[in-house]
Amino acid sequence: MKNEEFRKYGHEFIDWVADYLENLGSRRVVPDVKPGAVRSALPASPPLKPEPMEALFNDFKDIILPGITHWQHPGWYAYFPANSSPASLLGEILTAALGAQCMSWQTSPAATELEDLVMDWLRQMLGLPSGMSGVIQDTASTATLCALLSARERATDFESNESGLRRPLTVYISSETHSSIEKGVKIAGYGRASLRRIESDAAYAMIPEKLEAAILEDKARGFQPACVVATLGTTSSTAIDPLRPIGEIAARHGAWLHVDAAYAGTAAVCPENRAMLDGAEFMDSFVFNPHKWMLTNFDCSAYFVKDAGALIRTFEIHPEYLKTKADPYVKNYRDWGIQLGRRFRALKLWFVIRSHGVEGLQAFVREHLRLARMVKGYVEADKRFELMAPVPFGLVCFRLNDGRGEDALNDLNKRFLERINASGKLFMTHTALRGKYTLRMVIGARTTTEAHVRAAWEIIRSVAGLVLKL
């Protein structure tokens, strides 16, 4: 494709994107599409000859788009948000155009230095301890794996990298911790049997006394506690594990403390939400995702460590073909994670922070928290509903409860959620809280306003009436 053709379609695509964002609310959130429908509408083999961009763009609009789940929709209340924003989109265009591969300082000095800078901006914005160093990872899954590997190496004096994991290490999470930690425990060679699930309290937060009891029991049996994972804002219900007592216990027993704030970390841009960070000085590592609630296009996960040396020593490798003259004087982020190759992700984050300012991001978070409290009020005011967990952030957990048995309630609420989502006007997902099927409504999409939330609640109320009558 010639540059002039790129220019022509580039402009066309920008207009399409602006229109898409403008009118997104009129689309179904989740498409009404059967498995296999998209694939079977496309040729089974690649074309031999070049095809014009016009044909591609049409197929995108006619075949792909009707099969897309619209994560940027104002009716997005599912999972957690994965917000993009106009500023981030503009940054992504430049990142894609430069096509720089940012494994080493030399392979793009400005990318490394901007990453270094914006990660320190984020540290300041969240009130994380000074001295913590940051690196951008793709996802919290990867950042958590980095933490589990650093913990493994520190616990074994960096011998596992050399000889494999020979000592019986243990890792502690709560019953509510995200599945990526179990996945990481398997990948890093601890084995799932090394994982201890600590009981959580009525608010779904880890009980520190239970943690210490488990550690003491393990130590008595010859296990070595390598890592404790505390979550600020669990996936099921945004529960907040108490950081200070957990940190004190981890420190007392020499375990690495990793803090998973993938979703809720963004809330700490507002000083009034920083109580959860009391005890932050105990953290060995901390992750939150600007690609969730901080308007930065997926993927962009912010990982902070107290001891960058331990992280680097876990991953570094120095083949001749990667050595550069600048190595002694610079950060080479390839040694700060799993992947060698790295996108220039700092650019979109820099665009987002500067374009909104810290106060803009604070206002964004505060409005979502206000709307979530409003929905909590709706739930509490309607006797057909039951609030299932505290609402410290943007997530409201609730279900219908008319007093029938638990199994029947689970069936009822499953049907309830399916009916709501079938409307196409909004999209929520579910979880199980102590075995109870629970609807999750997360207020967190960039474009969601009070009017959207009110309209969504009207649909929820009316579907509730329907399914309770069936």
Reported in sequence order, the residue ranges of 69-208 that DSSP labels E, i.e. its strands, are 133-137, 169-174, 195-198
Q: Is 332 in the site for a second copy (CB under 8 A)?
A: no
The dihedral region occupied by 457, where left means phi > 0, alpha psi between -120 and 50, and beta the remainder, is: alpha
Q: Which residues contact 258 (CB under 8 A, 6 or more apart)?
A: 144, 147, 148, 151, 227, 228, 229, 230, 283, 284, 285, 286, 287
Q: Which of 133, 151, 155, 190 touches a second copy (CB under 8 A)?
A: 190
Q: Which of 77, 204, 286, 350 touches a second copy (CB under 8 A)?
A: 350
Instruction: Note if the bond before 299 is cis, omega within 30 degrees.
Output: yes
Q: In what order do the strands lie in the sheet with 301-305?
A: 133-137, 301-305, 285-288, 256-260, 224-231, 169-174, 195-198
Q: Which of residues 77-96 bind a second copy (CB under 8 A)?
A: 79, 82-90, 92-94, 96
Question: What is the spatial distance between Cα 10 and Cα 288, in angstroms, rounded to a whole number?
Answer: 33
Question: What is the spatial distance between Cα 397 and Cα 430, in angstroms, rounded to a whole number?
Answer: 9
C-beta of 282 vs 448, nearer to a second copy:
448
Q: Is 173 in the site for a second copy (CB under 8 A)?
A: no
C-beta of 43 vs 403, nearer to a second copy:
43
Q: Which of residues 107-136 bind a second copy (CB under 8 A)?
A: 107-111, 113-114, 116-117, 120-121, 124-125
Asked if 342 and 108 count as a contact pair (C-beta separation under 8 A), the reply is no
Q: Which of 154, 258, 306, 343 touches a second copy (CB under 8 A)?
A: 343
Stretch near a second copy under the rule CB under 8 A, chosen from 177-185, 204-212, 241-249, 370-378:
177-185
Q: Is 469 in the site for a second copy (CB under 8 A)?
A: no
Measured from the CB of residue 152, what is the shortest distance to a second copy in angstroms? Answer: 8
Q: How many residues bind a second copy (CB under 8 A)?
A: 150
Q: Which of 220, 320, 451, 470 touches a second copy (CB under 8 A)?
A: 320
Stretch near a second copy under the rule CB under 8 A, chosen from 179-187, 216-224, 303-311, 405-413:
179-187
Q: Is 142 in the site for a second copy (CB under 8 A)?
A: yes
C-beta of 177 vs 273, nearer to a second copy:
177
Measured from the CB of residue 245, what is the shortest distance to a second copy in angstroms? Answer: 26
Measured from the CB of residue 252, what is the shortest distance to a second copy in angstroms? Answer: 25
Long-range residue pairs from 398-401, CB within 8 A, at least 24 positions apart, any chain: 398/438, 398/439, 398/441, 399/436, 399/437, 399/438, 399/439, 400/464, 400/467, 400/468
Question: What is the spatial distance between Cα 283 and Cα 215, in angstroms, rounded to a whole number?
Answer: 18
Q: Is 422 in the site for a second copy (CB under 8 A)?
A: no
Measured from the CB of residue 248, what is the shortest distance to a second copy in angstroms? Answer: 28
Measured from the CB of residue 437, what is the shortest distance to a second copy in angstroms? Answer: 8
Q: Is 370 in the site for a second copy (CB under 8 A)?
A: no
Reported in sequence order, the residue ranges of 1-111 that DSSP labels E, i.e. its strands, are none
For residue 97, the tally of other CB atoms under 10 A from its CB is 10
Stretch near a second copy under the rule CB under 8 A, chosen from 246-254, 372-380, 423-431, 456-464:
423-431
Stretch near a second copy under the rule CB under 8 A, chosen from 105-113, 252-260, 448-456, 462-470:
105-113
Measured from the CB of residue 383, what is the shortest distance to a second copy in angstroms? Answer: 26
C-beta of 34 vs 469, nearer to a second copy:
34
Q: Which of 196, 368, 399, 430 touches a second copy (CB under 8 A)?
A: 430
Measured from the CB of residue 214, what is the shortest distance to a second copy in angstroms? Answer: 18
Q: In what order do the strands lie in the sheet with 385-387?
A: 385-387, 395-400, 436-442, 429-433
C-beta of 40 vs 469, nearer to a second copy:
40
Burial of 31 (0-12, 13-18, 19+ CB in 10 A): middle
Question: What is the spatial distance between Cα 270 and Cα 359, in angstroms, rounded to a whole number?
Answer: 9
For residue 98, the tally of other CB atoms under 10 A from its CB is 15
Question: What is the spatial distance between Cα 158 and Cα 464, in angstroms, rounded to a whole number?
Answer: 56
Q: Which of residues 298-317 bind a second copy (CB under 8 A)?
A: 298-299, 315, 317
Q: Where are the alpha helices (DSSP H) in 266-405?
A: 290-293, 308-315, 346-381
Chain mean position to CA 127: 19
Q: Which of 231, 238, 431, 448 touches a second copy (CB under 8 A)?
A: 431
Chain mean position to CA 350: 19
Q: Is 357 in the site for a second copy (CB under 8 A)?
A: yes
Q: Which of residues 45-74 bind a second copy (CB under 8 A)?
A: 45-51, 53, 55-56, 60, 63-72
Burial of 120 (0-12, 13-18, 19+ CB in 10 A): middle
Q: Which of 26, 130, 157, 179 touches a second copy (CB under 8 A)?
A: 179
Question: What is the spatial distance between Cα 158 and Cα 313, in angstroms, rounded to a whole number?
Answer: 8
Q: Which of residues 219-238 bind a second copy (CB under 8 A)?
A: 235-236
Q: Which of 75, 133, 174, 178 touches a second copy (CB under 8 A)?
A: 178
Q: Which of residues 445-464 bind a second copy (CB under 8 A)?
A: none
Torsion over CA: 130, 135, 141, 142 (sign): negative
Q: Which of residues 267-296 bind a second copy (CB under 8 A)?
A: 291
